Homo-oligomer: A and B are copies of this chain.
């Protein structure tokens, strides 16, 4: 996130306030001149920020009325920044559930497309990513990166830039949202992800194999199983750490 310039700083401040509910839908923002004075920036900066928020449909400006916060249903939820701000909300279990539901619908479907549309290069790239994953079985940090890239290689093989874009945005938000949620539960900075292990690796291999075999239905199913299994591990992992509370 680039906070180099004043516009971006104020954009994130106001965007966060809206998505976090400090500024409620229907509520009016101060007029440009007042905002400018309050935040100690020029009217130019304020206007640019309002345009950026309006592009995400968080606010709407009309003459005389002023600028008001739009209802949540109008928001452009699938904007990276909106999802980021939403991910930061504590007690956001419902949000995490919603994200997970979308992923569970989309990523397996993307595998079906990948089985159908993957090119030679796609297959090769997937295999390279899998080898990296396999090689990092004993390096948790490296595993996380390799896992991310492996999934990306699978998604890209769908050759549908709309799904690729959507899942990329989604995965980022999911990661951040899990981070917030689990840090809210306990203060430890540890990752909520289960460490690498043979079972999970096998499940990754099964997805890859199905795609190489052009078996769409199987690829979809194997990805669904992988995601639900990982989800389950995260949950039990988390419960174990909170319940037992060895500290």
Contacts and interface: CB of A to CB of B under 8 A. Distances in A.
Interface string A141-167: 000000000000000000011111110
A51 interface: yes
B160 A101 contact: yes
Interface string A97-111: 011011011100110
The DSSP consensus for interface residues of chain A is helix
Contact of A166 (B52, B57, B80, B102): B102
Interface residues of A, number: 37
A169 interface: yes
A59 B131 CA distance: 36
A179 interface: no
Contact of A160 (B80, B102, B163): B102
Nearest to A165: B77
Contacts of A106: 102, 105-106, 109
A56 B169 CA distance: 13
